Chains A and B, each alone.
Chain A
Amino acid sequence: MANDVQHAAMPPASVPVIRTVALARAFALGGQVVRALGGVSLQIERGAFVAIVGASGSGKSTFMNLLGLLDHPTGGQLFVDGVDASHLDRDARARIRGAKVGFVFQGFNLLDRTSALENVELPMMYAGVGRAQRRTRAVAALQAMGLGDRLEHVPSQLSGGQQQRVAIARALVNRPSLLLADEPTGNLDSATTREVLALFVQLAVEQGITVILVTHEHDVAAVAQRVVEFRDGVVVHDGLPPPEWQPVVQAPWHAGRVA
């Protein structure tokens, strides 16, 4: 499979995909400092499926933006695939983001009035993939999402679930090692939510992609191998999902647990 080739170029599996050391992010807001993230130290292994939960404003999105190199930390350190990414400039962050990170957002964030195909081609355009190859890979990615017959549809002609699948195809098309999903099912009904989560499980299991997802829902978080809870910008709990949370879809790692 294609991911074998890709893994060969990657650091050894022993190097965690993400390692943070007292990672902090503060915002200056009119003379006053908002500490959105107050020193988070954790490690996420390759192929892991992690859920991040916590109250609104607890710093989940801030953390995700740092992991995805959309934002820069104001304290501590961040290692992506073992490489210190704490002090990279914008362009270096953009390069790593394009190559290693796929984002899925609650609001889909597709370019409107732009076909599904062109949306999925976008990351490859910035990665310098040739036109023909872009097309082939985008078509394949959309077909894998069951959207082979929706290539020329623009977002307004697609359902929420279909839009999110286009977004997932876009996130995966550059074969990232890290999939960051910030409330990806927040706008989806329960059937579509199950569909998307089953897909994430499949990506983690079959392709070794590391999935980190933020959610407010227990049954979504319960799908993960590991749940990290944030409160006021710090981690207050890190471990298995509580046994009373019922996962919306089953994953291989649920097997050994008591239902």
Chain B
Amino acid sequence: MSLFTLLRVALRLLRRNKLRSALTVLGIVIGVAAVIAMVALGRGAQSNVASQIASLGANLILVLPGATQTAGVKGAQGSSSNLTRGDIAALGREVPTISAVAPTNRVSGQIVYGDANWSTSIFGSTPAYFDVRQWKVARGATFGDGEELTAAKVCVLGQTVADNLFGDQDPIGQTVRARNVPLRVIGVLEPKGQSVMGNDQDDTVLVPLATLQQRMIGGSRETVGTALVAATGPDTIDAAMADMRAVLRQRHHLQPDDDDDFSLRNMQDIAKANAEVADVLTVLLGAVAGVSLLVGGIGVMNIMLVSVTERTREIGIRMSVGARSRDILLQFLVEAVALSTLGGALGIGIGAIAASVLQRTTGWPTLFDPQTAAVAVAVSASIGVFFGFYPARTASRLDPVEALRHE
């Protein structure tokens, strides 16, 4: 008998027993729905991390002053830093796998506009900062080399700062005060949302590095805090880091057995660690849901076994008119597979709906991808084969005479 005929016969038999078929597939429906919803949740978390990585700026490497293991200089900022603008310039010059370098200095302070004020981080950096972080302005402009050279009294606001100081008003062209320095707002940055670490990246103000160093903090004009470096691509991050280390060690006159007096951090590694957590979450959620799918499969097997017993006479009749073992085996197998695939398809629909309801009610990001759906259908079909095989084989091995006599 052709597979198509088998399928038609199977579907007709299933239609004939609607209620039982429905109850049989219920387990599969629930199992697949659970898998789809849980994986959508996990995938949502993953894509969240992925977009965080993107918001960080691609291929970002941080250069931090002071070796992390050296007590006393840890977290050094501004004047206490041992990184100089010269070091940073050398990196840009000597490491071929670097596309942009942005030295930064950071102070925290109050930004005042009229009677409104807001505490935030004030970053000083070069125009390269916007490239390295792949951060554009939503309105206005960024500062350029000219403003940097002249230590111009201008600033670019993060979205959060702009919202809190100006509300609906247009900040461009207005003057705010930070550390008693009047700064003209020339731009507002695009919102970036939360960082990998979970803090608000838009709660920031950017000024030219020279402005920060010369007008807002005393001390050396040469030292910088953290430098942000963009590697030319994801593949060159490791090479860039090795070269950067060599350049900095040389410039800092370190002997081969000296520890680094700086540290390099690949932000993508941190992001990747987070992504791994999301992966594990996905797998765990999927596994828990998979167990319910397994239970659904056992349900199918149970009903198929009952069905074989109930239909013993039918099997005998089929054998008496020439059905071979294989024909009977396939018939029951096709029935089981049709049932569980049907259940799988229904489960996908319900799972997708459940995921979107979950997202709407809890705010957790979810992501439904067709790949998971395809896998779910394939898995439920395999469950049909796996759990349908034993009953089908039982049916195919019945003795024709006994089966015909059965009542």
Chain A residues engaging chain B, CB cutoff 8 angstroms? 65, 68, 70-71, 90-91, 94-95, 97-99, 103, 105, 109-111, 113, 122-123, 125-128, 131, 170, 174
| Known A-B contacts A70-B400, A125-B5; A109 and B320 likewise in contact (beta carbons under 8 Å) | yes
Counting CB contacts under 8 A, is B318 at the interface?
A: yes
Contact A126 B400 (CB under 8 A): no
Residues of A within 8 A of B319 (CB): 70, 94, 97
Residues of A within 8 A of B313 (CB): 109
Whole-angstrom distance between the alpha carbons of A111 and B401 in the complex?
16
Contact B404 A94 (CB under 8 A): no
Residues of A within 8 A of B325 (CB): 90-91, 94
Whole-angstrom distance between the alpha carbons of A70 and B398 in the complex?
11
Contact A98 B314 (CB under 8 A): no
Counting CB contacts under 8 A, is B253 at the interface?
A: no
Counting CB contacts under 8 A, is B116 at the interface?
A: no
Residues of A within 8 A of B324 (CB): 90-91, 94-95, 126
Instruction: Please list 9 pairs of residues, one from A and one from B, whose beta carbons are closer than 8 Å in the complex, sorted by A's number.
Output: A70-B319, A71-B399, A91-B324, A98-B321, A103-B320, A103-B321, A123-B322, A128-B1, A174-B322
Known: A94-B322, A109-B313, A109-B404. 11 other contacts (CB 8 A): A90-B325, A91-B325, A94-B325, A97-B320, A97-B321, A98-B321, A105-B404, A109-B317, A109-B320, A127-B322, A170-B321
Residues of A within 8 A of B16 (CB): 113
Counting CB contacts under 8 A, is B288 at the interface?
A: no
Whole-angstrom distance between the alpha carbons of A113 and B1 in the complex?
21
Whole-angstrom distance between the alpha carbons of A146 and B318 in the complex?
24
- Smallest CB–CB gap between B381 and chain A, Å? 24
| Cβ 8 A contact of A125, one of B1, B314, B404 | B1
Q: Interface size for chain B: under 10, 10 to 19, 20 to 34, or 35 or more residues? A: 20 to 34
User: B4: nearest residue on chain A (CB-CB)?
Assistant: A131
Whole-angstrom distance between the alpha carbons of A109 and B318 in the complex?
10
Per the 8 Å Cβ criterion, residues 291-327 of B in contact with A are 313-314, 316-327
Whole-angstrom distance between the alpha carbons of A170 and B326 in the complex?
21
- Smallest CB–CB gap between B10 and chain A, Å? 13
Whole-angstrom distance between the alpha carbons of A224 and B317 in the complex?
27
Residues of A within 8 A of B399 (CB): 71
Whole-angstrom distance between the alpha carbons of A122 and B328 in the complex?
13
Residues of A within 8 A of B323 (CB): 94, 98, 126
Contact B321 A70 (CB under 8 A): no
Pick from B321, B324, B326, B404 the residue with the most CB of A within 10 Å. B321
Whole-angstrom distance between the alpha carbons of A113 and B167 in the complex?
74
User: A130: nearest residue on chain B (CB-CB)?
Assistant: B2
Whole-angstrom distance between the alpha carbons of A95 and B325 in the complex?
11
Residues of A within 8 A of B320 (CB): 68, 70, 97, 103, 109
Whole-angstrom distance between the alpha carbons of A111 and B400 in the complex?
15
- Smallest CB–CB gap between A59 and chain B, Å? 13
User: A62: nearest residue on chain B (CB-CB)?
Assistant: B401
User: B322: nearest residue on chain A (CB-CB)?
Assistant: A98
Residues of B within 8 A of A68 (CB): 320
Considering the complex of A and B, which 9 residue pairs feature the smallest CB-CB distances, nearest first?
Answer: A98-B322, A123-B321, A126-B322, A94-B324, A70-B400, A91-B324, A126-B323, A71-B401, A109-B317
- Smallest CB–CB gap between A206 and chain B, Å? 23
Contact B404 A70 (CB under 8 A): yes
Whole-angstrom distance between the alpha carbons of A125 and B10 in the complex?
14
- Smallest CB–CB gap between B405 and chain A, Å? 9
Residues of A within 8 A of B1 (CB): 125-126, 128
Whole-angstrom distance between the alpha carbons of A252 and B129 in the complex?
110
User: A90: nearest residue on chain B (CB-CB)?
Assistant: B325
- Smallest CB–CB gap between A138 and chain B, Å? 12
- Smallest CB–CB gap between A152 and chain B, Å? 14
Contact B404 A111 (CB under 8 A): no
Whole-angstrom distance between the alpha carbons of A91 and B1 in the complex?
14
Residues of B within 8 A of A122 (CB): 317-318, 321
Whole-angstrom distance between the alpha carbons of A98 and B326 in the complex?
14
Contact A131 B5 (CB under 8 A): yes
- Smallest CB–CB gap between A191 and chain B, Å? 27
User: A134: nearest residue on chain B (CB-CB)?
Assistant: B5
Contact B318 A126 (CB under 8 A): yes
User: B313: nearest residue on chain A (CB-CB)?
Assistant: A109
Contact A111 B317 (CB under 8 A): yes
Whole-angstrom distance between the alpha carbons of A174 and B327 in the complex?
18
Whole-angstrom distance between the alpha carbons of A121 and B401 in the complex?
22
- Smallest CB–CB gap between A182 and chain B, Å? 10
Per the 8 Å Cβ criterion, residues 1-32 of B in contact with A are 1, 5, 16
Cβ contacts B187-217/A at 8 Å (1 or 0 each): 0000000000000000000000000000000
Contact B401 A65 (CB under 8 A): yes
- Smallest CB–CB gap between B397 and chain A, Å? 9
Contact B327 A126 (CB under 8 A): yes
- Smallest CB–CB gap between A159 and chain B, Å? 20
User: A105: nearest residue on chain B (CB-CB)?
Assistant: B404
Whole-angstrom distance between the alpha carbons of A105 and B401 in the complex?
12
Contact A70 B5 (CB under 8 A): no
| Cβ 8 A contact of B326, one of A91, A99, A113, A131 | A91
Whole-angstrom distance between the alpha carbons of A110 and B314 in the complex?
8
